[in-house]
Chain A
Amino acid sequence: MAISGVTLVPSASRTWPLLGLLGVLLGGGLASAWTMETQGHHITGMNNHIVWGLPHVCAIFLIVAASGALNVASVASVFGVESYKKLSPLSALAAIALLAGGLAVLVLDLGRPDRLVVAILHQNPFSIFAWNILLYTGFVAVVGVYLWTMLVRRQNRHTRTAGVVALVWRLVLTTGTGSIFGFLAGREAFHSAVMAPLFVAASLANGLAVFILVLAGLAVLGGPVPDAALRRRLGRLLGILAAASLYFALVLHLTWLYAPDSRAVSRFLLLEGGAWPVLFWGGQVLLGTAVPLWLLFRREGREVAAATLVALGGLVQIAVLLIGGQAFPRTILPGWQLHSTFGDGGAATYVPSLPEALLGASGFAIALLLVLLGCRLLRILPDRFAEVPA
């Protein structure tokens, strides 16, 4: 089936205030990045124990959500589900926009963002980080071509092939992102082969949640309103993916709990680590998974509320995994209790600062601005959903 899309004709009264808000967030993020670079990162809550903080939580969320936002297009192109086909261009656009937002935050948080060209010209072939730079730029290119095959009618015959390549690429990308942590053999709270599939599952859930929110937001701005059957179908898929995401988190902790030498990590993150257990149980498990599952499978028409909770739960999950993992004290001498003026042996503390929050939020602003721009300029949106079979 060929896709005949339309451009977004936004409601001015609703769109301008939103653009104003996104502009403020973007400006705040850029000002924060400038301040962090000129003053130094000591103005943030990050330190030599927690070197990756709130900006990285937002960036990683956006990057994994980028991969998951492509769910709808993949399901349509690769697995031939017709009801999702009209949403495929938006799915691809959202994927590119989310990735761009996440990458912007990562780059702006660098200690020397002015040396970005160094990262492009000099790459360490053994660095999983360098691999990810290739995976991210490649993702934009692959999904860009995929989108092009959807929008240009005479290229539609290549859409399935491009969709298969994009599907494989996004799975490799999320595996790579998870492996940034999973490969850290010297850090107990990160080193695990489960990290890669955990990130894949988290990306599927978070990305679909964000996609549902984008779809709902565009409808408010004047885009087509998804019918109840489509919303229900997307919601059920979201429920399954949210449960899968939690499943991998539980497997990770069961693996740690089973072995005596790694038990302390789970005890810290699930029980004794101050705010981290509260965020895990309250944020990821209860509000991010249990409540959305109840809304999606026991209530009607609550897809947007459920997607909001899944996305927030996904943010919390990454915060617990990333910052909580760094807060867990390094095991420098197994079997010894350590003490030093540097804080060895104790949990590290972290209080995020306003510049970090603004920089992180600016990533979301960039992603939404790109989605709005793409929808305004390209025939991304379906004209209506009425003919879509349930």
Chain B
Amino acid sequence: MSAGPTRRGLLAAAIAVAPGLFLVANAAPRPPGSAASARNRWDLLIDTTRCDAGCTACVDACRQEQGWGGPASDGPWIRKIEAIEMQTGRSVSLPLMCQHCAEPPCVEVCPTGASLRRADGIVLVDRHRCIGCRYCVMACPFAARFFVDAEVHDQRAATPRGKGTAEGCTLCVHRLDAGRLPACVEACAGGAMLFGDLLDPAAGISQALRARASTALRAELGLDAAIRYQGL
């Protein structure tokens, strides 16, 4: 991403004028073939007020893209949660996946370094180094890391999976590296998901985050999650 304002960013800034009226376009990730860089921090902003309780488009797209969900025991890389605020009775629907924390507990606890955080903040599992101890699954506060406990069939070429190893949302790193958006973001018909580079002040997501309050899940843990939510 360029350091200065982009045409897309300026357009987003012009459009994002009032809360509830976000028409910000998702930012293109980065030029294909370039290496992951600490100059990027890929973030996802989820507006729960636009997330329909009956909609599972993001989940379906992820399952199709990444190939999980065959055996019933497969962990859902992304899942829809229906939440009711106990004090008020207000209900919201939200997708939940790996929060791609800047201080990820799964990476800290992994004995072999198989759980890793890329320079651009994406948290991944090196399937060749994972010994299947499941400590990362224990450590994740969001239940967003899973253990593959059955033979894997119908694997996608871009997403190797392996019985006996851990896995979770990759933020569609293979698509990002090819300059495309994550499958869930692309599939979200309600415009509830906004993807972009938090370190680019002109990016649509940066504008949106500045314009309206958002929160990270379990913010009190200080994990600095890359996934932020509005409407909670």
- B218/A186 in contact, CB under 8 A: yes
- A344/B131 in contact, CB under 8 A: no
Contacts of A113 in B (CB 8 A): 131-132
In the complex, which range does the number of interface residues on chain B fall in? 35 or more
Contacts of A185 in B (CB 8 A): 105, 141, 221
- B164/A129 in contact, CB under 8 A: no
Q: Which of B13-21, B23-31, B77-85, B196-204 contacts A (4 or more CB under 8 A)?
A: B77-85
- A51/B143 in contact, CB under 8 A: no
Instruction: Kindly state whether residue A373 has any CB partner on chain B within 8 Å.
Output: no
Smallest CB separation, B153 vs chain A (Å)? 12
Smallest CB separation, A342 vs chain B (Å)? 5
A340's nearest neighbour on chain B, judged by CB, is B81
Instruction: Kindly state whether residue B11 has any CB partner on chain A within 8 Å.
Output: no
Smallest CB separation, B51 vs chain A (Å)? 13
A186-B218, A330-B142 in contact; A126/B108 too (CB < 8 A)? yes
The secondary-structure label for the interface of chain A is: loop
Instruction: Kindly state whether residue A130 has any CB partner on chain B within 8 Å.
Output: yes
Contacts of B133 in A (CB 8 A): 110-111, 129
Smallest CB separation, B174 vs chain A (Å)? 23
- B221/A186 in contact, CB under 8 A: yes
- A37/B164 in contact, CB under 8 A: yes
Instruction: Kindly state whether residue A384 has any CB partner on chain B within 8 Å.
Output: no
Q: Which of B36-44, B144-152, B185-193 contacts A (4 or more CB under 8 A)?
A: B144-152
What total of chain A residues lie within 8 Å of the partner, measured CB to CB? 51
Contacts of A339 in B (CB 8 A): 81-84
Instruction: Kindly state whether residue B66 has any CB partner on chain A within 8 Å.
Output: no
- A338/B82 in contact, CB under 8 A: yes
Contacts of A13 in B (CB 8 A): none
A111's nearest neighbour on chain B, judged by CB, is B132
Contacts of B148 in A (CB 8 A): 40, 111
Smallest CB separation, A115 vs chain B (Å)? 5
> CA separation between A129 and B133, bound complex, in Å?
10
Q: Identify which of residues 116-174 in chain B touch chain A, using a CB-to-CB cut-off of 8 Å.
A: 129-135, 137-143, 146-151, 162-166
A/B interface sample: 16 pairs, CB < 8 A: A42-B73, A42-B149, A111-B166, A112-B130, A115-B129, A118-B112, A187-B141, A326-B138, A331-B141, A332-B218, A333-B81, A338-B83, A339-B83, A339-B84, A342-B79, A344-B79
